[in-house]
Structure 1
Amino acid sequence: MNTVSRLLKLIQTRLPLIQAPMAGVQGSRLAVAACRAGVLGSLPAAMLLAERLCAEIEAVRRQTDRPFNINFFAHKQPQADATQQAAWLQALQPFYREFGLSEADVAAGGGRQPFGEEQAEIVLRYRPAVVSFHFGLPEQTLLDKVKSSGAVVMSSATTVEEARRLEAGGADIIIAQGLEAGGHRGMFLSRDLTTQSGTFSLLPQVCAAVSVPVVATGGICNAATARAARDLGAAGIQIGTALMLADEADTSPLHRAALQSSRAEHTALTNLFSGGFARGIVNRFIREAGPINPAAPPFPLAQAVAAPLKAAAEKQGSDEFSSLWAGQNAPLAETGSAAEIIGRIMAGWGNVPEDSER
């Protein structure tokens, strides 16, 4: 059985494509549309409280009987440091003064939550076909619960070393995340950005290093890039930015406008919005405070101080302090239904093994 067939058997879809989970720009509507298009739809769970996550899972189940993926973050939550928080607030004081904000406006909570017992119990309750992780894998006892649910486990690797670690840790599928990808880097063994490489350098190295199916993501946005990923050994592809203009995406009007402007030609990795490295369209905040600011607390704690700036600017109709996540090929993203976009991209993949029908 070739790697494409192995992937399709694991994710139980007609086509070897995964809709990337994108917190903030999608919910169950896009996941359902992807499932109906014959690919693996995904729900981003890291920013959802348990009640909301269960509601989203149930919304998917009401609208399709196709397999889908639930994505969680597996980072280790850092302890809040008052001194560090104060330094971050001080670094952003010029912007706070501009918007009439103060320390009282700092957001409560730590942002995205790591996978824990509560999330594991939800997996056991709903038993999704696939569970994916960003920032490595959860601790063994939690991963054992996921495996006992019958779910296939996927996780993102940004280096060959991370890919080997994921395979050894029990991942059934590895997502090779190239440097072109929008949103948060899945880095979990190092914060050294010099270890990061583009999709079409990373992909063949990961394919050579592991025995599980490898899915390519980052910069894959049309038929040509899908074909290139397959030629370099990918068992399948994952697309995110390419679906941000889809009819079923919840991308905000400000974000959609930025994606459809010449500004989308310039993206950068930044730690301003969460403390983790993530790629987005360059705006005033990134230009003037970063893109990489040493005062930012570790992921996800930076969000508490950055979030009020986003809210204040967006209230004025400005995206200059928004996290406009996008990959480097964002200018090639097109409008249309999710099914239409997926169809255009998969036209470059070629024939799918006949035994892949599910």
Structure 2
Amino acid sequence: MHSSLSGLGVTSPVLAAPMAGGGTTPALVAAAASAGGLGFVAGGYKTAEALAEQISQVRALGISFGVNLFAPNPVPVDPAAYRRYAGALQADADRYGLDLPQAITEDDDHWQAKLDLLLAGPVPLVSFTFGLPDTSVFTRLHRAGTLVAQTVTSADEARLAADAGADLLLVQAAAAGGHSGTLTPDRVPPAVPLPRVLGEVGAAVSLPLVGAGGLATPEAVAEALSAGATAVAVGTVLLRSDESGASKPHREALADPARRETVVTRAFTGRPARGLRNAFTDDHSGEAPAGYPALHHLTSALRKAAVQAGDAERVNLWAGTGYRHATAEPAADILTRLSHRL
């Protein structure tokens, strides 16, 4: 275990990855700590006030934890392409009596307010994904006593993160569920296996690495650690856990033997993300334009209505390639089992 993590009281190399949009809960963060690891409060898609509330819940437990933020790295959508796509989705929206938003929403997920929150009330560890913040952000967090991690998907991104001042890198392979942390989201990242990405990143920078993406068995965890990771972060394998905030349709789809594959799609958010194949990905992946966060806001109400209706065919069923190993049991048991060969 690298000193930067052991200094946070981490004794297990298996961490719980942040899953924005509901998957991560304060209870899941607590479970990760109880297993000797560490969890992240997922700051994405929350207001600063909602994030502050979750941080205070976790802080009250007296455990080490991280907070993950989406750093701004917008992919502005072409207005004509947005209108075309909104028209293509209207038939899905009609099932729920929804009018899709015609106005394009480009926002930064309350970036400055969340950053101000973390500078005013420092937490042990902050990680960034989607974009690479300005060097001054790293400097200010360091001054506040916070360790800073950056999500990267390649050696080139790792060099940029090291130059910006990152203390450690979350190295995400294409097998990961949910959004890719790529810094060039207008392009779908190549499908490179995690051990190879870890080797390439480790040759490029001398920072400690946390491997992520498709890790759902003790063997895969051991392989990532032997490839140069000092720890790993797992997400999909926790989505059916007792502490997960994943929706009922999402949990059931992960366990459904009829769901045979994951796909990388922009259809839900305009940014590449891996999820279980369903009718929505089949119908719309080919026509979805690049455009984040505009497409996220376009499809948000439709996805919420589908969850309420138990309609898994129109929900973003985020899942990494190891989704078959997701089990319905306490998260601490899952995390402990993943580290048992080490």
Normalising by structure 1, report the TM-score.
Answer: 0.88
Distance in 2 (CA, whole Å) between partners of 1:196 and 1:159 is: 11
Structure 1 runs not aligned, ≥5 long: 351-358
Match of 1:38 among 36, 39, 56: 36
Alignment partner of 1:73 is 2:70: yes
Query: What's the counterpart of residue 338 of structure 2?
Result: 345
Contact 2:138 2:166 in 1 (8 A): no
Residue type of the partner of 1:172? D
Residues paired across the two proteins, number: 341
Alignment deviations for residues 86-131 of structure 1 (CA, whole Å, 9 cap, x no partner): 222122233234444324x669955771632x22221122211100
Q: CA RMSD in A?
A: 2.2
Residue type of the partner of 1:289? H
Alignment partner of 1:307 is 2:331: no
Distance in 2 (CA, whole Å) between partners of 1:210 and 1:10 is: 21
Distance in 2 (CA, whole Å) between partners of 1:10 and 1:264 is: 41
Query: What's the counterpart of residue 115 of structure 1?
Result: 111
Q: Where in structure 2 are the equivalents of 1:23-34 lying within 5 Å?
A: 23=20, 24-34=22-32
Q: Rate the CA distance shift 1:43–1:102 in 2: closer, same or farther, 3 A.
A: same
Distance in 2 (CA, whole Å) between partners of 1:34 and 1:264 is: 28
Match of 2:200 among 183, 200, 205: 205
Alignment deviations for residues 47-77 of structure 1 (CA, whole Å, 9 cap, x no partner): 11111111101100112x1211000011234
Q: Rate the CA distance shift 1:219–1:77 in 2: closer, same or farther, 3 A.
A: closer
Distance in 2 (CA, whole Å) between partners of 1:308 and 1:142 is: 33
Distance in 1 (CA, whole Å) between partners of 2:282 and 2:108 is: 25
Alignment partner of 1:188 is 2:188: no
Structure 1 residue ranges, 4+ long, deviating more than 6 angstroms after superposition: none
Alignment partner of 1:273 is 2:268: yes
Structure 2 runs not aligned, ≥5 long: none
Per the TM alignment, residue 190 of structure 1 is displaced from its structure 2 partner at its CA by 5.7
Contact 2:172 2:194 in 1 (8 A): yes
Contact 2:73 2:183 in 1 (8 A): no
Distance in 2 (CA, whole Å) between partners of 1:15 and 1:107 is: 47
Residue type of the partner of 2:212? T
Q: Percent identity?
A: 30
Distance in 1 (CA, whole Å) between partners of 2:93 and 2:63 is: 47
Alignment deviations for residues 158-188 of structure 1 (CA, whole Å, 9 cap, x no partner): 1111111111111111111111100100010
Residue type of the partner of 1:324? L
Distance in 2 (CA, whole Å) between partners of 1:112 and 1:33 is: 30
Q: Determine helix, strand or coil for the equivalent of 1:262.
A: coil
Q: Determine helix, strand or coil for the equivalent of 1:92.
A: helix
Q: Rate the CA distance shift 1:263–1:185 in 2: closer, same or farther, 3 A.
A: farther
Contact 2:76 2:292 in 1 (8 A): no
